[in-house]
């Protein structure tokens, strides 16, 4: 996952040297008037068909075209003042062509017939040029055609229709609540909204129109010791980013939670530093989502396992596939991990992926055993042998995604979630089974190696557990894991009622880098004898 700090740094008003000193970035702005009219009237669908026909005429055995509008809105505040209000808007067209087993891709901002068919011809030309370097021809797993499909994510109030005053008012109210707490000197809060309208057509006969809305309230309270000897942050990460609208922001209730978060920031100043050692851990879903993301989500991406991401994100300890599928003991039999793009309100949820595939729900880990990788149409055939053994058809799990009309689609993470126990077990039940341990709420610091073995995670608040009960707050806690050992130490899960979603807008992968928004659900879970370090060094 990319660093949240980087995002905060670039959206904050203090980011003085904006783009000038750094890279020219991809398009981030508003469409020309006539193009926008064409897009909004639906006339761009004709352009989709023109583009894929042009690719076909050029010799493509398969082609798809995406015309999409991407919008963002940020409202950034601190204490009782506004720091930044930003709107971005961009519209364009990307065409992908498969010629003689090689991909080509080209994109244009201009939504004219000449421009999109020109992009299609360019994509074909690039595919042909890449032929000299071809090792094996790309083949695509079959998919159904969806000739007139529409889909909309789970939002009721479009955040782009909500007046700015209402957004500002909500943030400043939350900030004011936090500032009432003694020692809390600073508050930063942000509302971040994304809207994507994506139209897709492919030579398989699909024409798909989808609308996505995502919302993320961010909140940080900072407490400072009177003598300036210490400071502590508490981020309100339980208000996770979601594939929902402004109604979600209201339900996340920043003003109602701000005081509690601020009080915990202040309490951290006097919390007991953790003693280094092995502890039983009870991890809240607001912490565990990120551990799932890093130690299950990433190593089960098939392109990583086969070496395609070695120069940046890395490879995977779950390789080669034929030695791991059906064999690797990821955890105890209580562990089941699902990949899907169907959970309502989750960030990676879609009707159809960027290959035009309707994603399915699949078990990545089944009864503790590694069972399947995340795949696209290009990748699913690589596992044909495994699927044949299972008596399953070769089909993509629908994990294709491009983060902009100007980006090429590749394999990205679906929602990857740890399924809850089939009982009513609660957070307190898990704690009751721990003699000496630590309960952790919220995600914090995170880092994992390039094959996803060794990871270290922090949190927002830590509580000591003694004799099955919470005994007070700790600070400076981080847990270090070796992925298979950690998941095999998990011995109890919360039940269905305790299941929650966490997630990120900024899962990074690929060169040049693309971001993916993804959610991870889980119940709270208990892990035995995990290595805990104290991060509060002074020299």
Among 40, 156, 445, 529, binds another protein (CB under 8 A): 445
35 vs 429, beta carbon nearer another protein? 35
What are the CA-CA distances from residue 506 to residues 5, 151, 241, 293, 511 (Å)? 11, 23, 10, 12, 15
Pairing status of strand 477-482 against strand 81-99 = unpaired
228 vs 435, beta carbon nearer another protein? 228
With 0-12 CB in 10 A as exposed, 13-18 as middle and 19+ as buried, what is 167? buried
Among 151, 160, 427, 446, binds another protein (CB under 8 A): 446
User: Quick check: 494 and 474 in contact, CB under 8 A?
Assistant: no
**Minimum separation from the CB atom of position 307 to another protein (A):** 6
**Minimum separation from the CB atom of position 99 to another protein (A):** 13
**Minimum separation from the CB atom of position 482 to another protein (A):** 7
74 vs 499, beta carbon nearer another protein? 74
**Minimum separation from the CB atom of position 189 to another protein (A):** 14
89 vs 247, beta carbon nearer another protein? 89
Q: Is 161 in the site for another protein (CB under 8 A)?
A: no
Stretch 82-101 residues interacting with another protein (CB under 8 A): 82-90
Q: Tell me the site size for another protein, rule CB under 8 A.
A: 108
User: DSSP letters of 289-343?
Assistant: HHHHIIIIITTTBHHHHTTTTTTTT---SS-SHHHHTTT-B-S-TT--EEEES-S
Residue 495 DSSP class: B
**Minimum separation from the CB atom of position 373 to another protein (A):** 17
Q: Is 21 in the site for another protein (CB under 8 A)?
A: yes
What is the greatest pairwise CA distance in the chain? 74
Q: Is 452 in the site for another protein (CB under 8 A)?
A: yes
Which of 326, 321, 281, 284 lies closest to 302, judged by CA? 321
Stretch 474-503 residues interacting with another protein (CB under 8 A): 476, 478, 480, 482
**Minimum separation from the CB atom of position 135 to another protein (A):** 6
Q: Is 391 in the site for another protein (CB under 8 A)?
A: no
Quick note: the x/- pattern for another protein over 244-283, rule CB under 8 A, is ----------------------------------------
Stretch 164-223 residues interacting with another protein (CB under 8 A): 164-165, 168, 172, 185-186, 222
Distance CA 82, CA 72 (A): 18
Q: Is 38 in the site for another protein (CB under 8 A)?
A: no
User: Quick check: 490 and 330 in contact, CB under 8 A?
Assistant: no
Question: What residues are paired with 221 via a beta bridge?
Answer: 187, 234
Question: What residues are paired with 65 via a beta bridge?
Answer: 95, 201
23 vs 435, beta carbon nearer another protein? 23
Stretch 100-129 residues interacting with another protein (CB under 8 A): 103, 105-110, 115, 118-119, 121-122, 125-126, 129
Tokens 């596992």, located at residue: 383
Quick note: the x/- pattern for another protein over 54-73, rule CB under 8 A, is --------------------
300-305, long-range: CB within 8 Å, 24+ apart, which pairs? Answer: 300/339, 300/364, 300/370, 300/372, 300/373, 300/374, 300/416, 301/373, 301/374, 301/411, 301/413, 301/509, 302/373, 302/374, 302/375, 302/379, 302/382, 302/383, 302/411, 303/379, 303/410, 303/411, 305/373
What element of type H or E holds 262?
A: helix 254-270
User: Quick check: 438 and 474 in contact, CB under 8 A?
Assistant: yes
Among 41, 135, 327, 391, binds another protein (CB under 8 A): 135
Among 101, 255, 314, 468, binds another protein (CB under 8 A): 314
24 vs 391, beta carbon nearer another protein? 24
Q: Is 338 in the site for another protein (CB under 8 A)?
A: no
Q: Is 19 in the site for another protein (CB under 8 A)?
A: yes
Q: Is 449 in the site for another protein (CB under 8 A)?
A: yes
User: Quick check: 241 and 505 in contact, CB under 8 A?
Assistant: yes
């Amino acid at each position: 996952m990319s660093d949240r700090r980087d995002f905060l740094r670039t959206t904050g008003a203090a980011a003085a040297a904006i783009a000038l000193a750094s890279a020219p970035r991809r398009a981030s702005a508003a469409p020309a008037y006539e193009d926008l009219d064409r897009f909004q009237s639906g006339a761009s669908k004709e352009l989709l068909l023109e583009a894929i026909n042009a690719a076909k005429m050029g010799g493509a055995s398969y082609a798809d075209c995406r015309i999409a509008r991407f919008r963002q809105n940020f409202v950034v505040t601190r204490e009782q003042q506004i720091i930044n209000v930003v709107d971005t808007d961009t519209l364009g067209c990307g065409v992908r062509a498969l010629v003689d087993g090689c991909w080509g891709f080209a994109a244009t901002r201009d939504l004219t017939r000449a421009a999109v068919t020109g992009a299609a011809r360019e994509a074909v030309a690039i595919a042909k040029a890449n032929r000299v370097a071809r090792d094996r021809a790309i083949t695509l797993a079959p998919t159904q055609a969806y000739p007139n499909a529409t889909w909309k994510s789970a939002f009721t109030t479009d955040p782009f229709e909500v007046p700015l005053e209402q957004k500002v008012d909500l943030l400043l109210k939350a900030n004011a609540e936090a500032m009432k707490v003694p020692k809390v000197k600073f508050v930063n809060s942000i509302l971040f909204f994304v809207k994507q309208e994506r139209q897709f057509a492919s030579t398989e006969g699909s024409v798909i129109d989808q609308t996505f809305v995502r919302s993320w309230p961010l909140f940080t309270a900072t407490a400072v010791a009177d003598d300036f000897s210490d400071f502590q942050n508490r981020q309100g990460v339980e208000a996770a980013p979601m594939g929902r609208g402004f109604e979600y922001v209201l339900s996340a209730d920043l003003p109602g939670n701000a005081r509690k978060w601020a009080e915990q920031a202040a309490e951290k100043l006097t919390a007991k530093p953790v003693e280094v050692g092995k502890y039983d851990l009870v991890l809240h879903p607001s912490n565990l989502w990120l551990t799932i993301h890093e130690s299950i989500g990433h190593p089960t991406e098939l392109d990583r396992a086969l070496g395609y991401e070695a120069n940046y994100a890395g490879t995977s300890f779950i390789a080669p596939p034929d030695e791991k599928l059906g064999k690797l003991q990821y955890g105890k039999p209580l562990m089941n991990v699902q990949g899907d793009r169907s959970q309502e309100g989750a960030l990676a949820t879609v009707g159809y992926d960027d290959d035009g595939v309707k994603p399915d729900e699949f078990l990545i880990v089944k009864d503790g055993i590694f069972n399947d990788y995340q795949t696209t149409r290009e990748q699913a055939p690589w596992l044909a042998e495994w699927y044949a053994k299972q008596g399953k058809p070769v089909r993509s799990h629908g994990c294709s995604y491009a983060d902009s009309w100007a980006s090429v689609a590749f394999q990205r993470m679906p929602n990857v979630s740890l399924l809850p126990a089939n009982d009513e077990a609660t957070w307190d039940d898990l704690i009751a089974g721990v003699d000496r341990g630590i309960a952790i709420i919220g995600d914090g610091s995170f880092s994992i190696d390039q094959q996803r073995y060794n990871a270290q995670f922090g949190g927002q608040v830590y509580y000591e557990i003694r004799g099955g009960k919470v005994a007070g707050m700790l600070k400076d806690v981080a847990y270090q894991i070796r992925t298979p050992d950690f998941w095999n130490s998990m011995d109890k899960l919360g039940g269905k009622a305790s299941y929650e979603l966490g997630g990120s807008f900024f899962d990074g992968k690929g060169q040049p880098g693309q971001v993916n928004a993804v959610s991870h659900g889980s119940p709270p879970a208990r892990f035995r004898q995990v290595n805990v370090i104290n991060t509060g060094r002074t020299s």
